[in-house]
Amino acid sequence: MAADLKPLGSLEPVAGIRLGTACAGIKKPGRRDLVVIECAPGTQAAGVFTQNAFCAAPVIVAREHLVSSSPRYLLVNTGNANAGTGARGVHDARACCAALAAQAGCRADEVLPFSTGVIGEPLPVERLVAGMSGALSALAADDWAAAAEGIMTTDTQPKGVSRVIGIGGRTVTITGIAKGAGMIRPDMATMLAFIATDAALPQALLQECLVRAVAQSFNRITVDGDTSTNDACLLLASGVSGVTLDEPATRALFQGALDAVCRDLAQAIVRDGEGATKFISIRVEGGRDEQECLAVAYTIAHSPLVKTAMFASDPNWGRLLACVGRAGLADLDLECVVMWLGDSCIVRDGGRAPDYTEAAGRAAMSGTDITVRVQLARGAAQTELWTCDFSCDYVRINAEYRT
């Protein structure tokens, strides 16, 4: 089940980047669960990681390696998160980096490790190492679709997107893939997303571009409010196109394309949220600052009562208004709040809008995509985020996850 998630479109190769996958039998046999991404020498990398204080071993090691050198390889496994594994987990992550480095002929700190899957089980290092040679020998520039599949856990579909832009008569490509369906309320990053471009950017600028894009994409989605221990989003710039971004105008062009790639990937994660049947956009306007707009938007997005009403296509606007009321805004005058479901004004003057009809509310809820808009009428700040509904399948998926 997924809320109108489009099948994977064609993903453009990025010059300087090759990908290889293997079935390493990490959790289940015969499933693509190991992905290696190779970067041309000189590739710059920017990364954002989970803000969960309990971060997974691979996050600790990837952060370290990013500081000490530029990456030549990304090593990604699914089926095991290597989280809650203490000192042994960090040791295991390092051992995997060293094993790949030995096979590929680079330094261990030129390998960045990423893991996703069950928390608290020891990483099956031997199986990972055994699978590496297959992934390395499969490396190819056009294997983005297989890699998108290889990083999935409870995802029902692979997620990826490409944008190609022209800069100074030459072509720059941005391609990204992402996974994630549950434990999604990214805080500085999402579950796992890997984005690459052949543009040439210095590392500091690359990081700046990534942080800007993530703030309005991966950091504006939530499935269940549970920030993962393994969130990571990497942006690689191989520079092989030779296109540099020296002018403000070309930087803006690149940033716009990167923003679009990140937003599309982030929205794909929500559409494939565990058990999702609805894709819900929540827009909050008229706040004193963005923080209070976010407080209202997340209170709505995390409310089990709102999410179950969305599942039922029930325009239960009282639950929405109760969320606005408990979002913790000082001196909030509910009489001034206006609220819309789709294009229908549902709340005005502290109660149901006089011209609202249940039929109009039901019509606004009938499709897969639902928009909630809240006008706080006390300032000029605004924000938007995306979430999905809460279905019986969400409970079933998460009650059965480890069995």
Tell me the closest approach of the beta carbon of residue 230 to a second copy, in angstroms.
9
Residue nearer to a second copy on the CB measure, 261 or 370? 370
Query: Token digits for 103?
Result: 């096979």
Token pair listed for 194: 């890997």
Q: Which residue has the tokens 């989280």?
A: 83
Q: Which residues bind a second copy (CB under 8 A)?
A: 51-55, 81, 83-89, 118-120, 182-183, 187, 224-229, 302-305, 308-309, 311-312, 314, 316-319, 321-326, 329, 332, 334-335, 347, 349-352, 390-392, 394-396, 398-403
C-beta of 94: minimal distance to a second copy in Å? 16
Nearest-angstrom CA–CA distance, 18 and 74: 11
Minimum gap (Å) between residue 322 Cβ and a second copy:
5
Residue in 78, 175, 190, 299 annotated catalytic = 190
Q: Are 71 and 46 in contact (CB under 8 A)?
A: no
Residue 209 CB contacts under 8 Å (≥ 6 apart), including other chains: 46, 201, 235, 251, 254, 255, 258
Q: What is the closest distance, in whole angstroms, from the C-beta atom of residue 60 to a second copy in the complex?
A: 11
Question: Cα 41 to chain center, whole Å?
Answer: 27
Per-residue tokens: 399:
């009650």
**For a second copy, which is the closer residue by CB, 380 or 399?**
399
- The H or E element containing residue 268 is helix 248-271
Q: How far apart are CA 330 and CA 292, in angstroms?
A: 10
Nearer to a second copy, 162 or 227 (CB): 227
Burial 308-330 (b: 16+ CB within 10 A, else e): bbbbebebbbebbbbbbeebebe
CB of 247 to a second copy, least distance (A): 40
Pick the closer one to a second copy by CB: 2 or 376.
Answer: 376
Catalytic site includes residue 190: yes
Q: Which of 125, 81, 78 is nearest to 100 (CA)?
A: 125
Taking the alpha carbons at both ends of the chain, their separation in whole angstroms is: 20
Catalytic residues: 190
